[in-house]
Amino acid sequence: MPSNKSVSDAPITQFVNCKILKDHKLQKEDLWVREGVILNPEKLFFDEKGSADIQVDCQGSIIAPGFIDVQINGGYGIDFSLATDDVKGGVTLVAKKVLEHGVTSFCPTLVTSPPDIYHKVLPKIQFTEGGPTGAGVLGVHLEGPFISQEKKGAHPEQHLRSFQTRGFQELLETYGSLENVAIVTLAPELPQSSEVIDELTRRHVTVSLGHSVANLSQAELAVQNGASFITHLFNAMLPFHHRDPGIVGLLTSDKIPSGRTVFYGMIADGIHTNPAALRIAHRAHAKGLVLVTDAITAMGLPPGRHTLGQQVIEIDGLNAYVAGTKTLSGSIATMDMCVRHFLQAAGCTVEAALEAASLHPAQLLGITNRKGTLQYGTDADFVLLDDQLNVRATYIAGKQVWNKRF
């Protein structure tokens, strides 16, 4: 006879004494997990007559969906834009280290590089499920080289490219393959960008607008062709102007196709964006805000000189500059730092700060059926935090992969 206990013999874990982020609210509720998936307790009790095999006392912690970083260039001495002998090992090291910051999934990001770098590196960065060895890889974010010369930021000018006369074919030849690619950042004012955006979208690659001098009409056309993200809003784009607000104007544009959301990345490290600008963006379009670290190889390293792709970077406090200049070149902030700073600077709710690092990036990538929420049936990737949003423990597939030692 079949057992009445449950459909599966796998152990059931019940997380108690916690507040869980669900339906945009922190709720005093238990979290139930089996086989790496969040369970509906009503079905468990009434349909399966099941009960918990293991109870975890969360000691009043907040449980939020695991953080998702869609723009991270490296960290801890690893630069994703370098064709080292052990690219996979470098990604694995960063994946392991970011667990302590609540990150359960991320998009390794390559900055503007010569074609041979893409051809060597991209095949070695595979999609992975997260686990004890580190956060999961959701695909690569390619930031450049199809960007504006005027707004190149820290990207090396000699490796910038345009689509010339061959459009999407030029992009394919540059990257070699889109097999492991989740996001491409490009400048929508480049000739033939409409065709490229349309084709990338057709292939289920998220298109982001950035490092650009596009006006609002060009940005709106890009969104109408399928673009859905803005790379580090305010940074490396035309400043807001009341007669033509440029890409920034997408936050309140009335030309966005019905049912579509334009998301935008914000580096909430206290350096890249003034708190007033953070507040303006959040109040204008809260549902689109996605926290990103834009972290570089020097995250987790002491001050000094380090690399970012083909450039040398100098770390001074929390500032990362192209060596010998005052050009910002990414961040050394961690995701939990960004969540805390955003909460304080924007004056938003705790729920809004947490969703900007979890729900919104999952919506951007179209993976909310698995990630970014604590809904029943989704992956049990979550983070335990205290009331000040310091990370206490990180879980992937219902298993603890990092915890703070007291």
| Binding-site residues from annotation for Zn(2+) | 143, 211, 232
Neighbours of 88 (CB within 10 A): 12
Known binding-site residues for substrate equal 154, 235-236, 243, 272, 328-330
Active site residues: 294
Burial of 321 (0-12, 13-18, 19+ CB in 10 A): middle
* Nearest CA-CA partner of 297 in 82, 9, 54, 4: 82
Burial of 28 (0-12, 13-18, 19+ CB in 10 A): exposed
Known binding-site residues equal 143, 154, 211, 232, 235-236, 243, 272, 328-330
Neighbours of 132 (CB within 10 A): 12
